[in-house]
Amino acid sequence: MRKKSAATATTGATAAKKTATAKKTAAPAKKSAATAKKTAATAKKSAATVKKSAATAKKAAAKAPAAKAPAAKAESRVAMVRRARRINRELAEVYPYAHPELDFRNSFELLVATVLSAQTTDLRVNQTTPALFAAYPTPEDMAAADPERLEELIRPTGFFRAKAKSLLGLSAALRDRFDGEVPGRLEDLVTLPGVGRKTANVVLGNAYGVPGITVDTHFGRLVRRFGWTEQTDPEKVEAEIAEIFPKSEWTMLSHRVVFHGRRICHSRKPACGACPIAHDCPSYGEGELDPEKAKKLLKYEKGGQPGQRLRPPADYPGQPAPPLAGR
C-alpha cells in the first residue's frame, strides 16, 4: 500500500510539473498574442490618423483658392480693328444682298415704317403699311388723319396709341416746318416727334445715301459678341463702332450685322455650328455647335423661309413675305 501511494504521489508530482511547464510555455505565447494585438491596434490607429490627415488636407485644398490658368493675351486695339474689318468683309460675301427690311417707296414711307418698327418685327410693319399708305400717302394727309382711324390701321404693330401720336406729330411738323418734305440732316430729323438717332440714321442711309450706323437690338448684341465694344448705350456703341470702320461702310455694315443677327447669331441660341465667321468670333461656343442641329436654327432665306419684306429687292434670294390675313 505504501509503495502504491508513493507511486501515485510521484505520478501527481510529474503531472503537476508538466502542467507548470505548460503554463510557463503558454505565458510567452499569450504575451506574444497580446503584443501582436496591440501592434495591430496601433497600426489601425496610425491608418486612421493618416486617413484623417488626408481628409483634412483635401478639405484645406478645397477651401484654398484655385490656381488660375495663365490669362490669355489681351487682344490689341490694332488686332481687334483688323479682325472687325475682316468680319465685315466676310459678312459682305455671305450677304451680298443685305438691305433694309422695311418696305418703302420714298423717304416719308421709310420714316413712318421705321417709327412703327419699334417693339415689333419688320414683317408686321410691312404687312401693316400698305393699307396705311393707301389712306395717307403724304405728310399732309397723315397730319389731317382721324386719330381713331389711324390707330386702327396701325394696331397690328402694337403700342398703336403712342405710335399714332408720333405719326400725327411728325407729319404735322413735316407739313409746317419742312414744306411736306423729310429733311436730309440728322439734326433736323431728331427734332421730329418719335424720331431718335436710330430712326434718323435709317432714313439718312437708305433714303438719302448719307452714311449712318443703325444701333438696333441685333446690332448692339452682335458688336458686343464680336468684341468690338463693351458699351450698351446706343449712342456710345455708335460712336465706338464709327471709329473702327470707314464712313463709307457704315450703312451697309449695319445691314450686314443685322442680317446676321436675325438669321444666324440669334439672341438665345446662336447657330455657332453653321456660322461662316465662327473662326473670327470670340464668342464662338455660346450657341449650338453641332452643324446639323445648328442648321435647323437658321431663319429666313438661310432656313428656306420667307423674308420680312412683301416687296423685297430683285436680288433677294428668298421668298417674299405673305400679306397680313384679312387685309
Residues with catalytic roles: 198, 216
Instruction: Say if residues 7 and 13 touch (Cβ distance below 8 Å).
Output: no
How far, in Å, CA of 157 to CA of 118, rounded?
8
Cα 278 to chain centroid distance, Å, stands at 14
Instruction: Say if residues 138 and 108 touch (Cβ distance below 8 Å).
Output: yes
SS3 8: helix
Of 179, 35, 210, 42, the closest CA to residue 110 belongs to 210
Grid cell of 88 as nine digits = 465685315
CA atoms within 13 A on the CB side of 113: 30
Of 104, 126, 107, the closest CA to residue 174 belongs to 107
* Residue 294 backbone class (left: φ over 0; alpha: ψ -120 to 50; beta: rest): alpha
Instruction: Say if residues 121 and 113 touch (Cβ distance below 8 Å).
Output: no
How far, in Å, CA of 55 to CA of 319, rounded?
66
Grid cell of 258 as nine digits = 443685322
The secondary structure of residue 217, as a DSSP letter, is H
Grid cell of 219 as nine digits = 446690332
